[in-house]
C-alpha cells in the first residue's frame, strides 16, 4: 500500500497475528484461571483491534474497559509526556486487571498507565502488548506477554495508525517515507 508521502510493506501477516493472539490468550487464561472476573483494559486507540481479537480468545469471565493515553499526537516520535484523554468507566480496586497495549516503544505510556492503575489497588495487574521495540526503551518496563518483538521501525495496521490512518490494515506494516 502506498500514497504519495509514504509506502507500507508487510512486516507481520494477519495469519501470524491470529496465531500469536490465540497463544497469548491461552497463556493469559492460564495465568488468571482462578479469577472471579478479569478486567481487560484496552489502551485506546491503537489496541482496539488487538483487544477485540484477544478478548474473544480468553476463556474467562471478562469485563472490558478502555483508557486513552497519548504521547504521540500526529507525530512519529513520542513526546514522552503522557496525557490521559479518557479514564476508565469502572472500578478496578480488588480486581484482576489486564492492560492491553498496542506497542511498547519508549515505555513511558505503559509505565505511566500501570502506575496510575496500581494506585487504584487492583488485586493483580499485568500487561500484554502486541508489539515491543526494546531498542527504543527509555524507562524500565516490560509487559508480561508480548506478541512480537520488532526492530526500530515505524509501523501501522491492525489498529495502529499514522495520523489516524491505516488502522484498518489486517497486518502490521512498516512505513517508509518517500523523499
> Hey, which residues are catalytic here?
105
**The cell 506494516 sits on which residue?**
173
Show Cβ contacts of residue 155 under 8 Å, excluding neighbours closer than 6 positions.
Answer: 11, 103, 131, 172, 173, 174, 175
- Say if residues 91 and 97 touch (Cβ distance below 8 Å): no
- Say if residues 179 and 18 touch (Cβ distance below 8 Å): no
Q: How many helices (H) and strands (E) does the chain have?
A: 3, 9
Beta bridge partners of 7: 2, 176
- Say if residues 46 and 161 touch (Cβ distance below 8 Å): yes
Amino acid at each position: 500500500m502506498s500514497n504519495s508521502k509514504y509506502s507500507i510493506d508487510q512486516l507481520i501477516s494477519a495469519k501470524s497475528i491470529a496465531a500469536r493472539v490465540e497463544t497469548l490468550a491461552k497463556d493469559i487464561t492460564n495465568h488468571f484461571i482462578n479469577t472471579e472476573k478479569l478486567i481487560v483494559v484496552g489502551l485506546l486507540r491503537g489496541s482496539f483491534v488487538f483487544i477485540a481479537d484477544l478478548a474473544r480468545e480468553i476463556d474467562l469471565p471478562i469485563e472490558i474497559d478502555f483508557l486513552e493515553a497519548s504521547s504521540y499526537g500526529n507525530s512519529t516520535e513520542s513526546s514522552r509526556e503522557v496525557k490521559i484523554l479518557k479514564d476508565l468507566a469502572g472500578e478496578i480496586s480488588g480486581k484482576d486487571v489486564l492492560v492491553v497495549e498496542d506497542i511498547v516503544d519508549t515505555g513511558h505510556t505503559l509505565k505511566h498507565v500501570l502506575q496510575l492503575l496500581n494506585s487504584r489497588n487492583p488485586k493483580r495487574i499485568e500487561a500484554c502488548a502486541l508489539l515491543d521495540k526494546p531498542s527504543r526503551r527509555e524507562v524500565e518496563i516490560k509487559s508480561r506477554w508480548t506478541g512480537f518483538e520488532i526492530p526500530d521501525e515505524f509501523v501501522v495496521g491492525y489498529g495502529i495508525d499514522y495520523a489516524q490512518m491505516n488502522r484498518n490494515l489486517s497486518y502490521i506494516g512498516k512505513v517508509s517515507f518517500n523523499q
